[in-house]
Structure 1
Amino acid sequence: MKSIRQINALNGLALGLLVLAMASGCKKPAETQQAATVDSAAGDGFVSIFDGKTLANWEGDTTYWRVENGNLVGEVTPTTLLKTNTFIVWQGGTPGDFELKLEFRIADAGNSGVNYRSEKVSDVPHALRGYQADIDGKINYTGQNYEERGRTTLAYRGETVTVSTQPNPNDAGSLQANVKNNAWSSREVTASLGTADSLKTLIKHEDWNTCHIIAKGNHLQHYINGVLMSDVTDSDTVNQKLSGLLGVQVHVGPPMKVEYRDIRLKQ
């Protein structure tokens, strides 16, 4: 027969186990909620398209492209000077409507850019023709919308632009005829995002910057460090592109180095 002291001890033990079980039961939903929050934060729709270790799923001339310290590096040396611009091209598809986010760092003498909705140039190895978010080391052009091997400058940094079809779309020579001072003449500046010089102060020299490209239908926006630098509505039904290849560039010129990292795409 148990004494009163033994019974009280057993009751105390049972009560302790009950409290412990209730505490564990209350903790589980909190853990589940925290996990759901983390999953939601990661589920922004962006997918990494560069693994930081290899050139897997990218195609380019390895004379100029390599992976170093987790970065996609494009470099031109005194012994590998270029005769034409060269690209490394993502092999994962031809995005139409998309958002692209990445970080870049470029040397003072560097000239590069991110091409999108582009096509290969048949007679030039590793060359692309299409829209480009321009990037350069002296920050003269970074953020503008330039069409590589096409209509040239569509919007300078600080411009909101509507682009129209050239007057004579059936004229084989009309594309070049409508380029004046390295800019497409059939374009209209409809608003200002700020002066090119004031926006330049927001871009870091020879340091890491973020680039965010948004392409939806014929509306193209380039952001640097979270600031809208150029905004193009391309209503040129003859020359506009609604999908195409994605790649990054090293440009003809002096020895240079550009680095890209954290390249993420949302389609």
Structure 2
Amino acid sequence: MNRTRLRANNILNAGLMYVLLCNFLFFEVNAQQPENNNEIPFSENDEGFLPIFDGKTLTDWIGDPTYWRVENGNLVGEITPETILKTNSFIIWQGDQPTDFELKLEYRISEAGNSGINYRSELIADVPFALRGYQADIDGKNRYTGQNYEERKRTTLAYRGEKVIIENKDSVVDLKSNIEKNCWQIREVLESLGNSDILKLEIKNGEWNQVHLIIKGNRLQHYVNDVLMSDVIDADLINQAFSGYLGVQVHVGPPMKVEYRNILLKKL
């Protein structure tokens, strides 16, 4: 074999060794990646936040397994034609009943879906897996997403695009007589956060969206994709709440699917 051919063979062998080494390193690196896609690195803005859903199990969560499961690292709520609901059903976090906190999570919902994130809520004794209290509303058509709706209580407290104060009454309030068109009437709109239809454009249909709740004292702020959608000051001394359960909902209605992931809580 002449020297030119020998040199060519050496170069070829070196090239093959390099390719094999690169492939080995590629598979080694990927083998070390976490299988759970729920495990994302914290950003600087996530300091102090802790995950309350591990992406693998329903540890510390309780709900009807007919409607709730873990799938592909996500917390999934689904209604099928065979499992139509008669009452709204929640999966409820059992870890704590936080008072002042921030909550971050991502959700994705089908077009026909209706869901929500309840907080500072109470259990309903005679209805399984039901909550009563504040809710950051979510729906697939984005008619309600971002608003503050109080489940089984005062109904709509603030529509999307409103900063509202819920006024106080000195006597016990008859809830039904103060609700009109599914909205609490003892409230004052302090200012506009923007046109509801314009704010709706910030919400991604059928894709992942981030919700950020800042709940401190009697002020309740709902952000979607870093945009403030509703802002409530609850000065109603009879009906306001300062602690309670966290949970997410599947709503009465047609078949639907909602997914939640990266559920992070920071106590203030």
TM superposition score category, shorter chain reference: 0.7 to 0.9
2:172 is aligned to 170
* Cα distance in structure 2, aligned partners of 1:259 and 1:47: 19
Query: Which of 54, 63, 75 in structure 1 is aligned with 2:78?
Result: 75
Structure 2 residue 258 is matched with structure 1 residue 255: no
* Cα distance in structure 2, aligned partners of 1:202 and 1:145: 17
2:112 is aligned to 109
* Cα distance in structure 2, aligned partners of 1:90 and 1:246: 6
Q: Secondary structure at the match of 2:142?
A: coil
1:192 is aligned to 192
* Cα distance in structure 1, aligned partners of 2:206 and 2:42: 35
TM-score by length of 2: 0.82
The CA RMSD measured in Å over matched residues stands at 1.6
Q: Secondary structure at the match of 1:194?
A: coil
1:246–1:40 CA distance, 2 compared to 1 (3 A): closer
1:181–1:71 CA distance, 2 compared to 1 (3 A): same
| Deviations, residues 108-147 of structure 1 (Å, cap 9, x unaligned) | 0000000000000011000000000000000000000000
Q: CA deviation at 1:53?
A: 0.4
1:215 is aligned to 215
Q: CA deviation at 1:165?
A: 2.7
1:46 is aligned to 49
Q: Is the 2:172–2:238 Cα contact (8 Å) retained in structure 1?
A: no
Residue type matched to 1:236 in 2?
D
Residue type matched to 2:110 in 1?
A
* Cα distance in structure 2, aligned partners of 1:179 and 1:147: 12
* Cα distance in structure 2, aligned partners of 1:226 and 1:235: 26
1:177–1:191 CA distance, 2 compared to 1 (3 A): same
Residue type matched to 1:63 in 2?
T
| Deviations, residues 175-224 of structure 1 (Å, cap 9, x unaligned) | 11101110000000000000110000010001100000000000000000
Query: Which of 131, 135, 138 in structure 1 is aligned with 2:138?
Result: 135
Residue type matched to 2:179 in 1?
V
Residue type matched to 1:50 in 2?
F
Q: CA deviation at 1:164?
A: 1.1
1:7-156 matches, within 5 Å, as 41=44, 44-156=47-159
Q: Which has the larger radius of gyration?
A: 1
Q: Secondary structure at the match of 2:199?
A: helix
* Cα distance in structure 2, aligned partners of 1:97 and 1:66: 28
* Cα distance in structure 1, aligned partners of 2:126 and 2:105: 30
* Cα distance in structure 2, aligned partners of 1:170 and 1:192: 30
Q: Is the 2:169–2:237 Cα contact (8 Å) retained in structure 1?
A: no
Q: Is the 1:166–1:175 Cα contact (8 Å) retained in structure 2?
A: no
Q: Is the 2:61–2:93 Cα contact (8 Å) retained in structure 1?
A: yes
Q: CA deviation at 1:166?
A: 4.5
Residue type matched to 2:182 in 1?
N
Unaligned runs of 5+ in 1: 1-37
1:67–1:199 CA distance, 2 compared to 1 (3 A): same
Q: Secondary structure at the match of 2:90?
A: strand
Q: CA deviation at 1:228?
A: 0.2
* Cα distance in structure 1, aligned partners of 2:137 and 2:148: 6
1:63–1:226 CA distance, 2 compared to 1 (3 A): same
* Cα distance in structure 2, aligned partners of 1:125 and 1:49: 22
Q: CA deviation at 1:170?
A: 3.0
Q: How many pairs does the alignment contain? A: 227
Moved over 4 A (4+): 38-43
Q: Is the 1:154–1:183 Cα contact (8 Å) retained in structure 2?
A: yes
